[in-house]
């Protein structure tokens, strides 16, 4: 199976709902390690994305990702622009295609994490969203190389993202606001990485 515009919107709606429902959880994690606004920022971005989706009525997967990317880029903080640019690479990869396969999504994911790293300077192990993005993109590409279709490839990405997010618990932050508080944030999962895992999870389950 491939991904068409409807499936892409469902994926998006699933993620947006999860963010709406669990934003307090994310904010609480950011309160311990950062400045306590991540849930609010993410929810605000998701709402802006939804408004754009409703106004724009996208007809391709690429247009869905463009609307979402703009919603995030239209939000302040550190996560807004970084996630916005992450999704922008998905949009670029999908550009012009009526439907996309897992290979296109893998390209978007890899370019996405590359852009986030270029802009934010974080490496794997710095306790940021990159700790989920990077292994997820690699797992996605490995699945594509092994011939996986969209659903299976997304499942592989989700498992890698979830493992990656979980791994941040033991880390000491070196980037982002959490880097100011040192040892205090150790023992707490990075909320940005957690959100990345949710994103891939909804990609695997959306129909």
Ligand X SMILES: Nc1ncnc2c1ncn2[C@@H]1O[C@H](COP(=O)(O)OP(=O)(O)O)[C@@H](O)[C@H]1O
Return residues touching ligand X (CB under 6 A).
30, 34-35, 37-38, 41, 77-79, 82, 116, 120-122, 128-130, 175-177, 190-193
**DSSP states of 77-92 as a string?**
TTHHHHHHHHHHHHHH
CB neighbours of 133 closer than 8 A, spacing ≥ 6?
A: 86, 109, 112, 113, 116, 161, 164, 193, 196
Q: Return the residues of window 36-75 that contact another protein according to CB under 8 A.
A: 70, 73-75
Q: What is d(CA 87, CA 121) in angstroms, rounded to the nearest whole number? A: 18
Between residues 100 and 137, which has the closer beta carbon with respect to ligand X?
137
Among 34, 39, 58, 84, binds another protein (CB under 8 A): 84
Q: What is d(CA 139, CA 93) in angstroms, rounded to the nearest whole number? A: 18
Q: What is d(CA 76, CA 25) in angstroms, rounded to the nearest whole number? A: 20
Surface-to-core class of residue 139, CB atoms within 10 Å of its CB (0-12 exposed, 13-18 middle, 19+ buried): buried
Does position 190 bind Mg ion by CB under 5 A? no
Q: Which residues pair with 100 in a beta bridge?
A: 3
Considering the complex, what minimum distance in angstroms separates the CB of residue 177 from Mg ion?
6
Considering the complex, what minimum distance in angstroms separates the CB of residue 159 from another protein?
30
Among 51, 119, 146, 184, binds another protein (CB under 8 A): 119
Q: What crossing angle do the helices spanning 61-73 and 38-56 adopt, rounded to 10°?
A: 140
Does position 120 bind another protein by CB under 8 A? yes
Between residues 122 and 150, which has the closer beta carbon with respect to ligand X?
122
Does position 82 bind another protein by CB under 8 A? yes
Does position 129 bind another protein by CB under 8 A? no
Considering the complex, what minimum distance in angstroms separates the CB of residue 35 from ligand X?
5
Among 27, 60, 66, 78, binds another protein (CB under 8 A): 78
Contact 173, 185 (CB under 8 A): yes
Among 17, 56, 76, 98, binds another protein (CB under 8 A): 76
Between residues 7 and 52, which has the closer beta carbon with respect to another protein?
52
Q: For residue 194, how many other CB atoms are within 10 A of its CB?
A: 23
Q: Which partner from the list Mg ion, ligand X, another protein, none does 73 bind, CB cut-off 5 to 8 Å by kind?
A: another protein
């Amino acid at each position: 199976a491939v991904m068409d515009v409807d499936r892409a919107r469902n994926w998006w709606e699933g993620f947006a709902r999860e963010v709406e429902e669990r934003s307090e959880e994310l904010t609480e994690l950011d309160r311990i390690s950062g400045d306590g606004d991540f849930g609010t920022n993410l929810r605000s971005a998701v709402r802006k994305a939804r408004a754009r989706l409703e106004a724009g009525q996208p007809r391709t997967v690429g247009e869905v990702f463009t609307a979402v990317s703009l919603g995030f880029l239209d939000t302040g903080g550190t996560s807004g622009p970084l996630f916005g640019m992450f999704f922008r690479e998905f949009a670029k990869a999908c550009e012009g295609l009526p439907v996309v396969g897992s290979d296109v999504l893998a390209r978007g994911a890899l370019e996405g994490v590359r852009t986030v790293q270029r802009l934010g300077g974080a490496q794997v192990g710095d306790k940021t969203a990159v700790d989920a993005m990077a292994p997820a993109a690699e797992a996605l590409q490995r699945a594509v190389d092994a011939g996986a279709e969209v659903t299976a490839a997304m499942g592989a990405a989700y498992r890698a993202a979830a493992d990656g997010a979980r791994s941040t618990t033991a880390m000491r932050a070196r980037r982002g606001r959490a880097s100011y508080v040192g040892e205090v944030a150790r023992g707490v999962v990075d909320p940005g990485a957690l959100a990345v895992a949710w994103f891939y999870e909804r990609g695997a389950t959306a129909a």
